[in-house]
Structure 1
Amino acid sequence: MTTRRNVLAGLSAAAIAPSACAAPYVVIPPLKSCARFPVGVAVRAPMLSDDAQYADIVAGNFSRLTPEWEMKMEYILKSDGSYQFDRPDAMVDFAQRHDMGFHGHTLVWYAEDGDIFQRLKTKPDAFLNAYVKYIQDIVGRYRGRITGWDVVNEPVMEEGEALRDCLWSQVLGDDYIGLALTAAHEADPSATLLVNDYFLETKPKKRATFLKMCETLLKNGAPLHGIGTQTHLMADIQPGLITAAMKDIASLGLKVHVSEIDISVAGAQTGGNRAEPREGQIRAINEIVEAYHQLPDAQRYGITIWGVRDSDSWLNSEKEFKGADDPLLFDAMGRPKPVARAFADALKRV
């Protein structure tokens, strides 16, 4: 099964050919100038250093970076237990050079565990020590430079039946989430700590399970400060779902990060006609921002787009969409699309 993990690991820096029916492009103001909260983007280190257009779009339009892949355990933690920080360091340096914030993604994910943890899974005490050490080593290295973290990513099962069964829960129990939050907080008490998951807008059962998990963490005293909603959507999402979900998620009083926005056109394509899905894409981005504007200022951690150009999107490495989706704000040529104009206009409406 294709996953985001192997898609990102294998995605080259080469641009995928633009769609044969590319959307018209428009002129937009710098997106970061349109909002009173951070407007972020997910990036990959080689493209920041090797693709001038990519770097210019990022620096010119966004006020915060999220690493798309190179801060996940699969990249940082080597099989011998040592770390590689070359790409994470390069991304943090880029952010600082351009006066941008940085959001760390991610410390713990069910889909990645590392050889060292596999070797320790029959030794619970040693496993716990290694788990805490890994989290504190990473957070501690970037203390004061990375101001927020997705501490645990995607802890709830696809349909929301329960929390995921993974190596972390098998050895540490479901308290692996609270343990991770506590370890991260000890390493950097000033950092904003979040849990992050997807389908919160479209699967009410999953959202309910996720929010119940958050309530339990808070009741148990875990240092949980925010929720990441991911927000990977189809352009034909039913109007009103985003607004209802945002209100529900915000009810806990935690910060809300709309953390991984992309809006798939190919996935919503009807009869080969892309005009209607693109209109749906604009409707969805408007609803996201309008719903977000209803939150108190203190709960607006920021909005992040999951990729720069359409050709950079992880969706364009999926077998069914390969090179054919237009889920982001900039086309394969780096030109802003009508959805980018709609996003800018929505951000300015307060």
Structure 2
Amino acid sequence: MKTSIIFLLLIHLCIILKSGNITVAQINEDDIDTYATPKEVKGFDENTLFSPYTKQQWRSYQQEKINQGRKTQLNFIITYPNKTAVKGAKVYIKQLTSDFHWGCGMTHRILNNLAYKKWFASKFTAADFHNELKWYYTEPNPGQENYTDADAMINFADEHGIIVRGHTVLWDDVKYQQKWVKKLSPQKLLQAANKRVDSVVKRYKGRLVGWDVMNENLHHNFFEKRLGKNASALFYNRVYNIDPNTTLYMNEFNTTENVNDKWAAPEKYLRRLKKIRAYPGNSGIKMGIGLECHYGAEPIDLHYIRNSLTLLSQVGLPIWLTELDVKIDPTLENKSQLQVMYLEEILRESFCHASVKAIVIWTGASIDGCDVMCMTNEKLENTPVGDLIDKLMEEWKTGNIEVVSDSNGVSQVSVFNGRYEVTAVNPVTNVSSSVTLKVDTVSIPDKNVHLQILG
């Protein structure tokens, strides 16, 4: 038994070493038992999250990765028209947008609640609909399509600059098929599914940031059983040909949540993604990785989350955490504190992977029917989860800052990647000059931003 544990430890260690996280000297045989799987871990203890490292070591690594992947250090160089430096110029830096999106699940309940609309629009730049774009919702009976709720929700999102994921075109789980769909022959099923694809994708072509084409097709195979092993790849091809400029996602659960789920391990996720792209006509698809991230009541394995995201990041595709929540055993006295603690560690670990382009919280307000995790109560007052999200939203943005140029006319600032408005003000005359710029790893190669102001 001990030999097998040591073997698993060595594999685990190799993956972490590759990410630059630890050195061999930090591991010894006494630490082997701390690598138990979630089912073997007893109780809820913060040490379980970090051992054999300290919380400070995890935070230090995370901050280093954030600085490398999500921030850019810029030199603002302020000069007069004759190229001489402006000493003491005030430089105002205003963040307009972020390259990272905070999102939230949304339902049709938002449509008739003005306060909820204001709350949602004030916080989030991305949304994932719970049910309103799913086939069983838009066509419960054959030939009777109804997109009223989805239309209104997408219009609301457009009005407030909120990007929307198309969740989902089809779903591979048999229990979420309409009764009439289950009764169809393979030939009729293919016709009905193609009609569904054409209907929803053509209706919202170019308006959505991405499509979940075949939801959860690692765990389920409704369409493959009836239409053949390439059914999912075929539908990705159909969506691609209708809406070729939109990112198409696989969307799956337990790829980061549960080390014991044999169906959705990161390696199997990437294998299925490769198979979809290898299908004739699919090589040009813009693909993305969708991870539902429904964490259960068992202790969280941060090591597995880190290793999974590191492996998935290596293919260079955008990663979205699409339905993030944390379920806690309701019988525990400190369940609220544990939920917030685990959620924070999951969010911090996820954010330090630059390939993670968005995190969608599931769900926002209790009026939206959340049964696992709510950010607010029915009065839109924050829960402890809401307080945590607000704290991290503030921490992970540059916001508005003011700096002063030195004797060489230079101000050095590290900012989160995104779009900015920068204004330099003459310290004597108050004459100003402004520029709007995009900050990321490639837009400003030399990291120097030049602004001229009049004397």
Letter in 2 for 1:286: R
Return 132-141 or 110-119, whichever deviates more: 110-119
1:255 match: 318
Greater strand content: 2
SS of residue matched to 1:257 = strand
Counterpart CA distance in 2 for 1:273 and 1:146 is: 37
- What RMSD over aligned residues (CA atoms) do the two structures have, in Å? 2.5
**1:1-350 mapped onto 2 (5 Å cutoff):** 35-45=98-108, 47-109=109-171, 110=173, 111-121=175-185, 124-157=186-219, 164-166=220-222, 168-204=223-259, 205=262, 206-207=264-265, 208-221=267-280, 222=282, 223=285, 225-234=287-296, 236-264=299-327, 266-267=328-329, 270-272=332-334, 274-291=336-353, 293=354, 295=355, 300-310=356-366, 312-314=368-370, 316=371, 325=372, 327-336=373-382, 337-348=386-397, 350=416
Question: Which deviations, in whole Å up to 9, do the C-alpha atoms of 1:244-270 show, x marking residues without a partner?
Answer: 111122223222111111122x33764
Letter in 2 for 1:257: W
Question: Which deviations, in whole Å up to 9, do the C-alpha atoms of 1:35-93 show, x marking residues without a partner?
Answer: 42232211111x22222222111111111222111111111113232311111111111
From the superposition, tell whether residues 35 and 232 of structure 1 become closer, same or farther in structure 2 (CA, over 3 Å): farther
Q: What is the percent sequence identity of the aligned residues?
A: 21
Q: Contact 1:263/1:328 (CA < 8 Å) preserved in 2?
A: no
Counterpart CA distance in 2 for 1:150 and 1:328 is: 24
Counterpart CA distance in 2 for 1:190 and 1:210 is: 23
Q: Contact 2:107/2:368 (CA < 8 Å) preserved in 1?
A: no
Displaced runs of 4 or more, over 4 A: none
- Deviation at 1:195? 1.1
Q: Contact 2:364/2:376 (CA < 8 Å) preserved in 1?
A: yes
2:406 match: none
From the superposition, tell whether residues 33 and 288 of structure 1 become closer, same or farther in structure 2 (CA, over 3 Å): farther
Question: Which deviations, in whole Å up to 9, do the C-alpha atoms of 1:88-135 show, x marking residues without a partner?
Answer: 1111111112122111100111232334433432xx333323222210
Letter in 2 for 1:219: A
Letter in 2 for 1:341: D
Give the TM-score normalised by the residue count of structure 1.
Answer: 0.75
Q: Contact 1:39/1:64 (CA < 8 Å) preserved in 2?
A: yes
From the superposition, tell whether residues 137 and 273 of structure 1 become closer, same or farther in structure 2 (CA, over 3 Å): closer
From the superposition, tell whether residues 131 and 212 of structure 1 become closer, same or farther in structure 2 (CA, over 3 Å): same
Aligned length: 292
Greater helix content: 1
From the superposition, tell whether residues 104 and 245 of structure 1 become closer, same or farther in structure 2 (CA, over 3 Å): same
Q: Contact 1:140/1:187 (CA < 8 Å) preserved in 2?
A: yes
Question: Which deviations, in whole Å up to 9, do the C-alpha atoms of 1:278-325 show, x marking residues without a partner?
Answer: 22222222222123x3x3xxxx542211221245354x2xxxxxxxx5
Give the TM-score normalised by the residue count of structure 2.
Answer: 0.59
- Deviation at 1:273? 5.2
Return 248-257 or 235-244, whichever deviates more: 235-244
Segments of 5+ residues of structure 1 without an aligned counterpart are 1-31, 158-163, 317-324
Counterpart CA distance in 1 for 2:121 and 2:221 is: 39
SS of residue matched to 1:252 = coil
Counterpart CA distance in 1 for 2:296 and 2:394 is: 21
The structure with more radius of gyration: 2
Q: Contact 2:197/2:239 (CA < 8 Å) preserved in 1?
A: yes
Counterpart CA distance in 1 for 2:333 and 2:179 is: 46
- Deviation at 1:199? 0.8
2:425 match: none
Counterpart CA distance in 1 for 2:188 and 2:204 is: 25
SS of residue matched to 2:167 = strand
